[in-house]
Structures are given as C-alpha cells and as structure tokens.
Chains A and B, each alone.
Chain A
Amino acid sequence: MNATYQFNWSVIDAHMWPMLVGLVLMIRLTIVGMVISLAFGLILALMRMSAARPVRVLASGVIDVVRSVPLIILLFWLYYGLAAQLGIAMQAFTAGAIALGITGSAYMAEVYRGGLEAVESGQREAAAAMGLTRAVAFQTVVLPQAARLVVAPTINVFVMLLKGATIMSTIGVADMIFVARQVSLRTFTPFELYTFAGLVLIVITLILAAIGGVIERRLSKGAGRHA
C-alpha cells in the first residue's frame, strides 16, 4: 500500500446493491423496534407517572436497568441466553427487533415523560376545572401539547436504534455492516465499505432530522382541531 492511500470507489460501485439490501434490512429492524418502543414506551411512561407508588417504582426500575445495559449484551441474552437457558430459540431478526424494542421503550418512556411533564400543571387544572374527564383532558389538552415536544427526541431515539441496528451483524443478521464485513474479507477494502456505510447513515440521520423539523413546525402552527 502506498503512503497516499487510494480511496477505491470501484469497490463501492461493485457492491452497492448488496450493501443497500443490508441497509433496507437495518431500516426494517429499526422500524419494528421503534413501533415496539412507541407502544411500550408510552405504557412505561404512564406507569412511571402513576399515582400508585409501587407501579412507579417498578417502571422507573425497569427504565433505569434497561438503559444501563449495553445493547449488545441485551442482544446476546435474547439470542444465545434464552436459547441456552430456556430453550427459547428465535430468529436473529426477531431477537434484534426485540432488543431494539426493549432499549427503545426505556428511552421513549423518558421522552414521553419529559413531554407530558413539560405541559404546565395549569393546563391540566383548567381542563379539569371545566369538567373534562381525565381521559378527555389527556386527549384534547395534554397530548397535543406534549406531542410537539416529543417529536425531536423521538427522532433521536429512532436514530439511536438505527445505529444500534449496526451491531445486529454480530448475531448474523445480514445488515449493511454484515455485508460490508463479508465483502471486505474478499476485497480487503474495509475502509471504503465501512465509510460508505457511515455516510449512508449520516445522510439518513440528516433526512430524519429535517423531517422532524417540518413536523415540529406543523404542530406548533397550532393545528388545534378538536370539535
């Protein structure tokens, strides 16, 4: 190899297609993980804010533990641990999606809680004082205000999960990183392939951030339809 490294574009050109197939798989994984996170995160957040202390303590315990466990360890527990200990064998994709879903739920719980708690207490009080039930007050007053506050951090969680999906290759999910490794074993060009993967992820992240900005502006315009 020369002192001046020659970036070999042709490798990318030649293997673009399988890389992108790997990317699509990553995105699918991330979306499934995110859907799990959106649903269970909300449940966890509501539990975390429950009036019943034991429920609150349980939820915050789960959130703290999950957030402190590295994703790769969670993934290995799910994929190898469950199979070895309990005989529960799942497909690599399933294990990956669940691992992302568990991590994402813990983070989304905090995102939701942040959004819900940022709605001033006077808003709930005014809604309660006019005779709205808690459910209706939540739906018409609290949620619409919290929604615009959670858009940006929700996109951050999505990006985090997308990056998290890059370690799924360690259990054999054929994602973009997996493809990059496989190809570079033959071509000896890991730098090109991983750089390409990195650039693709940066582009996706920027696009997501832009979409988030648009949604946020839409919401804050005050699309307050309710009746």
Chain B
Amino acid sequence: MGTKICPSEQGTLQVTRSSGACSPILKLEGIKKSYGQLDVLKNVDLSVNEGEVVVMIGPSGSGKSTLLRCINLLTVPDAGSIVFRGKDYGPNQIKDWRSRRAFERSLVQLRCDVGMVFQHFNLFPHMTAGENVMLGLTRAHGVHAREARRIAQEQLDQVGVGDKFSAYPRNLSGGQQQRVAIARAIAPKPHLMLFDEATSALDPELVAGVLAEMRRLAATGMTMIVVTHEMRFAFEVADRVVFMADGAVVEQGPPAHFKNPQHERTRAFLSAIGVA
C-alpha cells in the first residue's frame, strides 16, 4: 500500500511501490531446535515480507511457539539464520560475538524492534496498566517518562482500555489484560509483531474483542506473525497461512489455498478441527 522505503541488500535505500517488491523483513533459514532427543524444529525456513500478516496453524506440540520464540531469541535455536531487517541474529553469529555484552546488545536491538504478545498476557503484576506500557519505553527505548506516559495513555486508548491506566492487572478481566499487553507490545512501534495464541487463555466471550484489536492492527499495515487456533480469524486476516506439523512447515499459501490443501497431513488437521 502506497510508497515504501525498503533497505536493499547493499544497505542503500530504495523506494518501491508495493510491499511485495521489498526484500523480506524477516528470513528464517534452516532453523533447528532439539530438547534432548526431541527434535522440535527440523530445518524450518520461513520468510515474511514487510506489511504481511502470516498466520501459523498446526497441531499442539508441532513447534509453533518454539519457532516464534526463536525469532526474538527467547529460545536460541541450535542452528540456522535469523535475518531481521538485514542483520543475522542466528546462533552462528552468537559464536562470533566476543563477549556477553556484545551478545546482549545485539539481543536488545532485535527485541526492541519485535513486539510479542503471550498466551497468558504476562503483564507485570506489581505495575499498573500504564506502567506496564511505559516500562519498555523508558527503560529500553530511552523515552522520557513524561512522553512515555503520553504514549502509554494513547496506546491504551487505542485498544479501548484508556480508563484503566492506573489499574493493576489483577483488577482487569483477561480481555482487558490482553489489550494492555498488546498496547505494551506496540507502543515502541516495532517493525514486527508476534502473537502466540493470544486468545487461547480468554473466556469465550472475550475472544472477539481481542481479535478485533489484532484485526485493527493488521489493517494499519503492521507486519505480524500470528499463531492461533481461531480458524475463521486466521483465514480472514492472513495474507498467508503456514501449516506446521512435527517441527516442519508442511505447506503454506494464501487462505484460499487451504480450501484444497495438497498434503494429507494438512487435510487431516483441518478436518479434525472442523474446517474443510
């Protein structure tokens, strides 16, 4: 949509008309992760373009969360490259980094630019909603407290919990908590948002509200990777759906593609959950 400025491979800026022409904002290659004998991720490749909404589906235990966590290195993969906005953060790079300090600086750089929303919200219980949103701004992004407060209020307003600035998480409903968590993640204006089953822990009547916020965010052009079991939402909002099973990407394509999936594994999954 509109004019986009994309960094090219050479690091110079080029102006293009559509997001599709950009090099991917994120490119995962050969991601592997094992826990002991269990191979959780087996050589996963995935690339995501700027502005794209990628929805990951698949059976429980297929490695979706692990893959998502590898992107911001909450989990460090055993092998593979994680190229985000032209810089590789993969485990090969880690070996090259001389000191813990350099490693941590690099991690911080990556995480400051990637927002994450968790299944269980993970709000900080000793801080108010507003303080939850402000913390990253002031302590990771160096925003002055006064400005951070203004941004926090604005973001809470955006997700419909503007009146809860001074409320502690325990006094909020699950839906309100997750909205605060979304505000907290998007306040620093990251280039990529990760959602790991953001509605799975919510009471059924609160799911729609949170999905609406995610839909709204997608409409602003935010690049998003969304793990979800909400199939209607998935097929409606996704630019591309990725089906994972047993630690590998089995098949991917635009939502329409999944009306007639190519792989037996995909068909079995979709019919098991009552789609197709």
Which residues of A come within 8 Å of B, CB atoms? 120, 122-123, 125-134, 136, 140-141, 144-145, 222-224, 226-227
Query: In the complex the two chains form, what is the Cα distance from A136 to B137 in whole Å?
Result: 13
**Contact in complex: A132, B122 (CB < 8 Å):** no
**Contact in complex: B128, A224 (CB < 8 Å):** yes
- A144-B149 CB under 8 A given contacts A129-B116, A133-B108: no
**Contact in complex: B126, A222 (CB < 8 Å):** yes
* B185 at the A interface (CB under 8 A): yes
CB-defined contacts of A131 to chain B, threshold 8 Å: 108-109, 111-112, 136, 140-141, 188
Query: In the complex the two chains form, what is the Cα distance from A132 to B148 in whole Å?
Result: 15
**Contact in complex: B122, A130 (CB < 8 Å):** no
CB-defined contacts of A122 to chain B, threshold 8 Å: 118, 120, 122
**Contact in complex: B72, A129 (CB < 8 Å):** yes
Shortest CB-to-CB span from A220 to chain B, Å, is 9
Query: In the complex the two chains form, what is the Cα distance from A223 to B128 in whole Å?
Result: 9
**Contact in complex: B127, A222 (CB < 8 Å):** yes
Selected from A126, A134, A226, the residue in CB contact (under 8 A) with B131 is: A226
**Contact in complex: A123, B122 (CB < 8 Å):** yes
Shortest CB-to-CB span from B32 to chain A, Å, is 21
**Contact in complex: A130, B111 (CB < 8 Å):** yes
Selected from B108, B124, B138, B149, the residue in CB contact (under 8 A) with A126 is: B124
CB-defined contacts of A223 to chain B, threshold 8 Å: 126
Residue of A nearest to B74 (CB): A125
- A130-B185 CB under 8 A given contacts A140-B139, A222-B168, A227-B149: yes
Q: How many inter-chain contacts with C-beta < 8 Å in the A-B complex?
A: 85
Query: In the complex the two chains form, what is the Cα distance from A130 to B111 in whole Å?
Result: 6
* B237 at the A interface (CB under 8 A): no
Shortest CB-to-CB span from A147 to chain B, Å, is 9
* B134 at the A interface (CB under 8 A): yes
Q: Give a binary string over B64-99; 1 marks a CB under 8 Å from any A CB, 0 the rest.
A: 000000001010000000000000000000000000
**Contact in complex: B118, A145 (CB < 8 Å):** no
**Contact in complex: A130, B138 (CB < 8 Å):** no
**Contact in complex: B184, A130 (CB < 8 Å):** yes
Query: In the complex the two chains form, what is the Cα distance from A130 to B112 in whole Å?
Result: 6
**Contact in complex: B120, A224 (CB < 8 Å):** no
Query: In the complex the two chains form, what is the Cα distance from A132 to B140 in whole Å?
Result: 5
Q: Give a binary string over B97-132; 1 marks a CB under 8 Å from any A CB, 0 the rest.
A: 000000010011101101110101011111110010
| Residue of B104, B107, B139, B188 ringed by the most chain A CB atoms within 10 A | B139
CB-defined contacts of B112 to chain A, threshold 8 Å: 130-131
CB-defined contacts of B118 to chain A, threshold 8 Å: 122, 125-126
* B135 at the A interface (CB under 8 A): yes
* 6 A-B pairs closest in CB distance: A131-B112, A131-B140, A130-B136, A126-B122, A224-B127, A131-B111
Q: Sample 21 A-B pairs with CB under 8 A, ordered by A number.
A: A126-B118, A126-B123, A129-B74, A130-B112, A130-B135, A130-B140, A130-B184, A131-B112, A132-B135, A132-B136, A133-B104, A133-B108, A136-B140, A140-B135, A144-B126, A222-B128, A224-B128, A224-B131, A226-B127, A226-B134, A227-B135
* B276 at the A interface (CB under 8 A): no
* B145 at the A interface (CB under 8 A): yes
Query: In the complex the two chains form, what is the Cα distance from A120 to B185 in whole Å?
Result: 19
Residue of B nearest to A144 (CB): B126
Query: In the complex the two chains form, what is the Cα distance from A129 to B121 in whole Å?
Result: 12
CB-defined contacts of B104 to chain A, threshold 8 Å: 133-134
Residue of B nearest to A139 (CB): B139
**Contact in complex: B131, A227 (CB < 8 Å):** yes
Selected from A129, A144, A222, A227, the residue in CB contact (under 8 A) with B145 is: A227
CB-defined contacts of B184 to chain A, threshold 8 Å: 130
CB-defined contacts of B135 to chain A, threshold 8 Å: 130, 132, 140-141, 226-227
Query: In the complex the two chains form, what is the Cα distance from A14 to B111 in whole Å?
Result: 70
A-contacting residues, B162-185, CB 8 Å:
168, 184-185
Query: In the complex the two chains form, what is the Cα distance from A224 to B130 in whole Å?
Result: 11
Query: In the complex the two chains form, what is the Cα distance from A141 to B149 in whole Å?
Result: 18
CB-defined contacts of B168 to chain A, threshold 8 Å: 222, 224
Query: In the complex the two chains form, what is the Cα distance from A134 to B105 in whole Å?
Result: 11
Query: In the complex the two chains form, what is the Cα distance from A113 to B116 in whole Å?
Result: 28
Query: In the complex the two chains form, what is the Cα distance from A141 to B122 in whole Å?
Result: 11
- A128-B111 CB under 8 A given contacts A227-B131, A227-B134, A227-B148: yes
Residue of A nearest to B184 (CB): A130
Shortest CB-to-CB span from B272 to chain A, Å, is 29
**Contact in complex: B139, A132 (CB < 8 Å):** yes
Residue of B nearest to A136 (CB): B139
CB-defined contacts of A222 to chain B, threshold 8 Å: 125-128, 168
Query: In the complex the two chains form, what is the Cα distance from A222 to B126 in whole Å?
Result: 5
